[in-house]
């Protein structure tokens, strides 16, 4: 199984369990599915959202792909790159500690996280409250 968590120290830690989040969510938000065969590439709603400031971003990959996961401010400025590597087909989770590229805590507000592969692009909203 290939999955990774990237923490605030930029260490990559393998995930032992895959797909442990329940389907569905508050207000119809799509959370990561129960463990099943991954049939499509999907970006799920972060949890918790709003967060203070740690949140988990989950995504599934249908096939091995070069993956980029980035956080952007509402004005479009890059806040942090969380993942930039090739990953295999599976459910992946990334834990973000609410810090920017320089290691400083970001301010409260609306942010976007964007998942890009050669065949897929999606983004979702994330609210940071302090």
pTM of the model: 0.74
Instruction: Give the total number of structural domains in the chain.
Output: 1
Chain segment 62-82, per-residue pLDDT in tens? 999 999 999 999 999 999 999
Closest by Cα among 88, 64, 73 to 4 = 88
Cross-sheet strand order for the sheet of 109-117: 78-87, 65-73, 109-117, 120-128
> Number of helices (H) and strands (E), helices first, in the chain?
0, 9
Chain segment 78-127, per-residue pLDDT in tens? 999 999 999 999 999 999 999 999 999 999 999 999 999 999 999 999 99
Domain range for 45: 5-128
Closest by Cα among 7, 6, 8, 34 to 20 = 34
User: What's 64's domain CATH number?
Assistant: 2.60.40.4070
Chain segment 36-72, per-residue pLDDT in tens? 567 899 999 999 988 998 999 999 999 999 999 999 9
Q: How far apart are CA 122 and CA 66, in angstroms?
A: 15
* Residues 6 or more apart whose Cβ sits within 8 Å of residue 18: 1, 3, 35, 90, 91
């Amino acid at each position: 199984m290939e999955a990774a968590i990237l923490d605030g120290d930029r260490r990559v830690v393998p995930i032992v369990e895959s797909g442990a989040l329940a389907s569905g969510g508050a207000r119809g938000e799509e959370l990561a599915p129960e463990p099943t065969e991954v049939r499509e590439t999907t970006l799920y709603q972060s949890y918790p959202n709003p967060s203070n400031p740690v949140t988990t971003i989950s995504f599934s990959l249908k096939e091995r792909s070069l993956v980029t996961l980035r956080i952007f401010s509402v004005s479009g400025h890059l806040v942090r790159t969380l993942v930039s590597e090739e990953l295999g087909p599976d459910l992946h989770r990334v834990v973000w500690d609410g810090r920017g590229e320089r290691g400083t805590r970001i301010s409260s507000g609306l942010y976007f996280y964007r998942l890009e592969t050669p065949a897929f692009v999606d983004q979702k909203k994330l609210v940071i409250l302090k």
